[in-house]
Amino acid sequence: AQSVTQPDIHITVSEGASLELRCNYSYGATPYLFWYVQSPGQGLQLLLKYFSGDTLVQGIKGFEAEFKRSQSSFNLRKPSVHWSDAAEYFCAVGPLLRGSNYKLTFGKGTLLTVNP
Partner 1 sequence: DTGVSQDPRHKITKRGQNVTFRCDPISEHNRLYWYRQTLGQGPEFLTYFQNEAQLEKSRLLSDRFSAERPKGSFSTLEIQRTEQGDSAMYLCASSLARGVGMNTEAFFGQGTRLTVV
Least distance in angstroms from the C-beta of 9 to partner 1: 8
Compare residues 69 and 98 and give the one whose CB is closer to partner 1.
98
Q: What is the DSSP string of the chain?
A: --EEE---SEEEEETTS-EEE--EEE-SSPPEEEEEEE-TT--EEEEEEE-SS-SEEE-GGG-EEEEEGGGTEEEEEESS--GGG-EEEEEEEE---TT-----EE---EEEEEE-
Q: Does 28 bind partner 1 (CB under 8 A)?
A: no
Stretch that binds partner 1, among 15-23, 61-69, 74-82, 103-111 (CB under 8 A): 103-111
Stretch that binds partner 1, among 18-26, 35-43, 66-74, 79-87 (CB under 8 A): 35-43
Stretch that binds partner 1, among 20-28, 45-53, 54-62, 66-74 (CB under 8 A): 45-53
Give dist(CA 37, CA 23) in Å, integer: 14
Least distance in angstroms from the C-beta of 102 to partner 1: 5
The CA angle 87-77-79, to the nearest 5 degrees, is 100
Compare residues 15 and 64 and give the one whose CB is closer to partner 1.
64
What residues make contact with partner 1 under the rule CB under 8 A?
4, 34, 36, 41-46, 49, 90, 92, 97-109
